[in-house]
Structure 1
Amino acid sequence: MQDKGISTRGMLGAARAPRITTMSRLSIFNELGQTPVGFGINADFGATASATEVQSAMNAAAPGAIAPAHMHRPHSGTAAGMVAALPKIRAVGFIFVRL
């Protein structure tokens, strides 16, 4: 992608959803064999949500939802909220996959 003057930073394997606004940008993903994705729920609002808010967001997830969360922020409510939510959503049949 360097020869096209396009940075793939933030596009492939990134936590943020890519901002695809044109067919030409979408074609770049296709050329790279990648599929752009977005997210269905915001699990922790950029690591600013409380544990209760994270748990509530995760419990509201629909099948197939992508839920970005900032697990690298140890003092946020993300980890505690996930610990509280995950047993329930796994019990109803949710599975987790790596994108």
Structure 2
Amino acid sequence: QPFSFKDWLEQQRSLLGGGSPVSMFGDQFETEVLVFGPGLTETSVQQTDAWIWQMEGSSRVTINQQEFTLSAGDSLLITEQSQYQWERNQGTVALFVVQNPERKKP
């Protein structure tokens, strides 16, 4: 069912300040879509490619010891098996998308 992403995002804003991501579609699909506000994703390794779209604010992503600064409108691909840390500043709204075939349910 089509919906307005802008309207959905406005309804979620109060949750984004808590440091936990908000899932757009739950965990029943192969593609995981999360919206993040300010906070820190500790050093982690993604098993599949992940894509970040920095919608508002700014953040810093360190991938395999290389640092990237993201501003509104920027996007970044984190390739599979890469070690990364993601520090999101106040005012951040960022979309995080992962397509993981292991999540696919019949």
Structure 1 and Structure 2 fold alike (TM over 0.5): no
Higher relative CO (Cα under 8 Å, sequence separation at least 6) belongs to 2
Structure 1 or 2: larger helix share?
A: 1
Which structure features the higher share of strand residues?
2
User: TM-score, length-normalised on structure 1?
Assistant: 0.29
TM-score (norm 2): 0.28
Q: Which has the larger radius of gyration?
A: 1
